[in-house]
Amino acid sequence: MYVLGIESSCDETAVAVYHASRGLIAHTLYSQVATHAEYGGVVPELASRDHIRKLVPLIKTVLNDAKLQAGEIGGIAYTAGPGLMGSLLVGAATARSLAWSWKIPAVAVHHMEGHLLAPMLEDNPPPFPFIALLISGGHTMLIEVRAIGKYHLLGESLDDAAGEAFDKTAKMLGLDYPGGPKLAEFASGGSNRFKFPRPMTDRPGLDFSFSGLKTFTMNALHATDQSAKDKADIAFAFQQAMAETLSIKCKRALRQTGMETLVVAGGVSANREIRRQLQQMATKENAEIYFPRPEFCTDNGAMIAYAGCQRLLAGQSQNLEIFARPRWPMNHLAGL
């Protein structure tokens, strides 16, 4: 069965085709970064209007790349939440309408389940059960994953998400939106001069708090001449604090649950220093660690097509309702 996957929850329009036994067939993505850059963040109304312009042409491109006719698609998976309501509705309405006209099922996919399952697209997928660290622009979660749909939340961010903290810190350093990858680039030219805290690591528990790092960034910045070197050193300190905090919490989650497998996914998992420190920790703990390839860490259609395909194979789909949930707790998901 070929499954068409559609992602439009935020500022990326992405489409993919995944085949139940042959794997990923084709995928494409249009990023709206240039549209939102001048505003310093995503403007929801501009995002949804752009999804309307781009989605159908991208679906045609993917079908063309996959050398498939519409009649060969067996099901459609779309991101139904969490995300921006207008953007979600574009994907949901398009997916639902196509499924109706092609007389095939449509399945609503949870965006963070998509991220969580992205490493399954690789040649060496992680075995269940595992601990998942999901680090994206809107979420930071540690989850005990028993199987698809069997998610137990161990900890989450009490304030800013990891990606949000990267983006806000980058903004303070004068870097353009989205600042995460740019801050990482900046940090590679920095040195170990400032010491930032590792928030909430000195007390038990698996929750996170990153909003305090903004104060440290601001104070460090004001104590310097704000030269390019000063900013690189601050970026370095911020990234080290983030990487070490994530690493400490993952180690704690592995030990607490006795699990030996760690999956790390979501936009921030593309960060090379974070990957390096988590890898080092996992090796010391005798745990196996799995990441998606960098292009599937950030939003993409492949992860939605994959997650939707698993649910469709299990006989799950939605009725004619256009299903969109800006807020959608992961523990509300059904198992397979």
List of residues contacting ligand KG4 (CB under 6 A): 10, 115, 136-138, 163, 166-167, 178-181, 184, 266-268, 270-271, 298-299
The mark string for 64-93 relative to Zn ion (x by CB under 5 A, - otherwise) is: ------------------------------
Cβ proximity to ligand KG4, 63 vs 157, nearer residue:
157
List the single partner that 184 binds among Zn ion, ligand KG4, none, CB under 5 to 8 Å by kind: ligand KG4
Q: In the set 14, 50, 299, 324, which binds Zn ion (CB under 5 A)?
A: 299
Residue 35: exposure state from Cβ atoms within 10 A (0-12, 13-18, ≥19): middle
Cβ proximity to Zn ion, 104 vs 120, nearer residue:
120
Cβ proximity to ligand KG4, 83 vs 149, nearer residue:
83
Cβ proximity to ligand KG4, 154 vs 184, nearer residue:
184
d(CA 271, CA 279): 12
As given in the structure block, the two tokens for residue 57 are 């042409």
DSSP state letters, 99-111:
HHHHT--EEEEEH
Using rule CB under 5 A, residue 157 touches Zn ion: no
Looking at the DSSP bridge assignments, the partners of residue 107 are 77
Distances (CA, A) of 186 to 84, 222, 233: 30, 18, 9
CB of 299 to Zn ion, least distance (A): 4
CB of 267 to ligand KG4, least distance (A): 2
Q: Which stretch binds Zn ion (CB under 5 A): 15-23, 206-214, 292-300, 315-323?
A: 292-300
List the single partner that 145 binds among ligand KG4, Zn ion, none, CB under 5 to 8 Å by kind: none
CA-wise closest residue to 232 among 214, 224, 278, 37: 224
- Residues that contact Zn ion, how many (by CB under 5 A): 2
As given in the structure block, the two tokens for residue 99 are 């499924």
Residue 44: exposure state from Cβ atoms within 10 A (0-12, 13-18, ≥19): middle
